Amino acid sequence: MTLLEPRIAPTTPSPPPAGGPVDPAIGADVDKYRQQYALFEAGELSDEVFRVFRLTNGIYGQRQGGTNQMVRVKVPYGSIRPEQLEMIGWLVDNYSRGWGHITTRQNIQFHFVQLDRIPEVLEHLASVGLSTREACGDTVRNIQGCHLAGACPHEQLDITPWAEAAYRHFVRNPISQRLPRKFKINFSGCETDCGQAMFNDVGVIGVARRTDRGEVERGFRVFIAGGLGTTPHPALALEDFTPREELLPTIEACLRVFDQAGNRDNKLRARMKWLVDTLGFEEVQRRVLTQRKFLVASTSWPGGIPAEVQIDGDDPAGAIDPAAATAIGHGTPVTIGTGTAYQRWERANVVRGVRDGSVSVYAQAYLGDITGDQFRALAALQRDLGADVRLTNRQNAVFRGLHPDDLRAVHDRLAAIDMARPGAELARDVVACPGSDTCNLAVTQSRGLGDAIGRRLEDEGLAEVGGIRINISGCPNSCGQHHASDIGFFGAERRANGRSAPGYQMLLGGYIGAQQMHFGEKALRLPARNAPEAAVRVIRRFVGERRATESFRDWMERAGGVRAVAEGLKDLDEFPAFETDPSFYVDFDETGPYAVQTGASECAT
C-alpha cells in the first residue's frame, strides 16, 4: 500500500457526510432529548429531573456553571471509525474549543458546549453512529476493553465481540437505567490486563483451563467489586472459571445484586465495592451465583454464546513466536530511547508478533488531547490504511492490522500532526484528568502539572524511560487513576505562611497486571511547584539503580519501600515565603492567587 503524503485537512464549514442511516435507537434518544429540553425550557420540567435526564444522556455540567456543558461521547471498548473521528473533529471546532479529550474509560469528551446547542450536537453524532447514551449518570457506563484485543500476541481469546455483546445487552436495558450509582465493566483478553479489569465493578479476564479430557477450554475469570476513588478496593475473583456461555448471565447477575442491595440513601457508599464491606464477600458471591442460577427464568436472560461472538468469532490472534512477541502491560521494561526519531518511535510504539504478521502502532495524544485538525488527519490515515483504530485507557489511539512495510510512512504522517513521539508506556506518557480546568470537584490543575512534568522529563533526558507510569488527579477521587500507577499525584489544598496554596499528595508503587492490583502508597505531600522535581528525582534514581528487567515496584521494594524512597524527597515539602517566590501560591495554567473553588459535583447525582 502506498500512503498519501502527510497532511492535515482544513476546518470544514459544514459537517462531514453522515455515516449511513441513523440507528433508530440512537435517533429515538435524540428525539427524546429534544422533547425533554423543550419541556425544561418551558418550565414544565424541574432542574432536578432534567439534570438526571441529561446525565443519563452523557451531558455533564462544568465548574464554570451557566449553560456550559461537557459532552461525553460513548466509544464502546474504544473502537472508532474514520467518519466518527471526522465528525468529532468538526464538532470540537464548531461547538467546543477546538480540541477533545480521550478519557481513561475510552470515551471522548469535549467542553464548553452551550446547553441550547446540545440537541444539534446529538443529531450530528447520531449521523455517524455515535451516542452519548449512558456515558454519565447512575447507569452501566462505557464498556471498556483491551485496546489490542484481536491484535495481541499474548491474548487467550479476542474479547472484542464479548465487549460488543455486553454493550448491546446493557445499553437502554431497563435494569441499568436508575442504579444506586454508576456501574463499570471491563474486559481484558489475558492476565496482562491491559484493560484494567482489577479495579472495576465487574472485570473480565480471558483465561484457559485444561478439562478432564485433556482439552484446552477457553473462558473467563470474573472479578467483582473493584474500584478507585478516595477508598480504593481491589477486585475479587467471583469463581475460578466462568464458561463462555455463562459470561453475560454472570455480569447481569452482578448488576441485579447491585441494583437490589446497593445503598440508595448515601451515594458516597453506593458502589459495588461497598457491598463487600457491608455484606461480606461470601454473601455477595452467594447472591450473584444464586441470581445467575435462576436468571434463565427472566425475560432478559442473555445465556449462551452471544450472536456477536457467533458471527465474528473470538479466536485469539496468536503469535508467530511467543518469545519474540512485543512485551506489553504495566511494568514492562523498555530500553531507554536511543537512535533516530524513527528508531525510537518504532521501538516504543509498535507492537509485533501476531500470527498474521501484522503490527499495531500507538499514536500518542499529549495528555489525551486531540485537536480538530488531528482528528481529521487520524481519520484520513485510518481510511488510507484500512486500519482498525481503538482508543486506549492511557489516552492514546492505536492503529491495528498494519503491514510492516507501511511503518515509515505511518510515522511520517503521525509526525506531521505531532502524534509520533515515542510514548506508549514511557515516562512522558503522562495521564491526567481534566482537573480544575472544568471539574467541580478538582482543587488543582492536574493537566497543568502533567504538562510541567512532561517538560521537565524532556529537559532531563528522562522522557523515554520505559516501564514507568505517571498518573495525576486534581482531587482524591482518582479520575486520573493515580492509585494504579508507579508515580501518582492527587491534588490537595495546602496552607503555608498564612495563605492557601496548590499542593499534591505523591503516591508510589501502584501496579495492575497478572490478575493483581497494588494501590500506590502515600509517599509525601508537596507544593504543586515541586511535584515535577519529585517525579524527576524518583525516575532518575530508578534509572540509576534498577537491575535488568526490574520493574518499578520491584526496584522500590528493593530500595527499602515507599518510605525509603520518600526520604530523599523531604526537602521538597517546603513553601518559600510569598514575597520570596509567589509562584508557589499560583497553580499551573493560572495567573492569579490560588483559591479553592469547588461546587456540587454531578458525579454523585
Q: How many residues does the chain have?
A: 605
- The two beta strands, 499-508 and 511-513, are unpaired
- Minimal CA–CA distance to 491: which of 548, 539, 450? 450
The DSSP secondary structure of 107-166, one letter per residue, reads -EEEEEEEGGGHHHHHHHHHTTT-B-TTSSSSSB-PPEE-TTTTS-TT-SS--HHHHHHH
- Predicted local confidence at residue 2, as pLDDT: 37
Q: What is the spatial distance between Cα 357 and Cα 325, in angstroms, rounded to a whole number?
A: 11
Residue 428 φ/ψ, nearest 5 degrees: -70, -15
H or E segment and range at residue 197: none
Neighbour tally for 591: CB within 10 Å: 6
Residue the block writes with cell 478507585: 228
- Predicted local confidence at residue 335, as pLDDT: 62
| Domains observed in the chain | 24-126 (3.90.480.20), 156-312 (3.30.413.10), 431-604 (3.30.413.10)
> Which residue type, as a one-letter code, is found at position 409?
A
Give the chain's residues under pLDDT 70: 1-12, 333-337, 599-601, 603-605
- Predicted local confidence at residue 596, as pLDDT: 87
The answer to whether 512 and 198 have CB atoms below 8 angstroms apart is: yes
Q: What is the spatial distance between Cα 304 and Cα 321, in angstroms, rounded to a whole number?
A: 33
What is the arrangement of strands in the sheet containing 202-210, beginning at the earlier edge strand? Answer: 144-145, 185-188, 202-210, 216-224, 236-237
H or E segment and range at residue 187: strand 185-188
Distances (CA, A) of 165 to 24, 79, 188, 234, 433: 18, 14, 14, 25, 29
What is the arrangement of strands in the sheet containing 397-402, beginning at the earlier edge strand? Answer: 79-80, 388-391, 397-402, 359-363, 350-351
Q: What is the spatial distance between Cα 148 and Cα 25, in angstroms, rounded to a whole number?
A: 29
- Nearest 10 degrees: Cα torsion 51, 52, 54, 57: 160
- Predicted local confidence at residue 526, as pLDDT: 97
> Which residue type, as a one-letter code, is found at position 458?
E
- Predicted local confidence at residue 3, as pLDDT: 41
- Predicted local confidence at residue 333, as pLDDT: 67
Identify the sign of the CA torsion 13, 14, 15, 19: negative
**470 backbone φψ class: left, alpha, beta (φ>0; ψ -120 to 50):** beta
The answer to whether 396 and 429 have CB atoms below 8 angstroms apart is: yes
Alpha carbon of residue 281 to chain centroid: 27
- Predicted local confidence at residue 600, as pLDDT: 67
DSSP state of 573: S
Q: What is the spatial distance between Cα 470 and Cα 535, in angstroms, rounded to a whole number?
A: 9
H or E segment and range at residue 226: none
Residue the block writes with cell 481491589: 234
> Which residue type, as a one-letter code, is found at position 414?
L
Give bridge partners of residue 501 from the DSSP assignment.
Answer: 494
Secondary structure tally for the chain: helices H, strands E: 16, 22
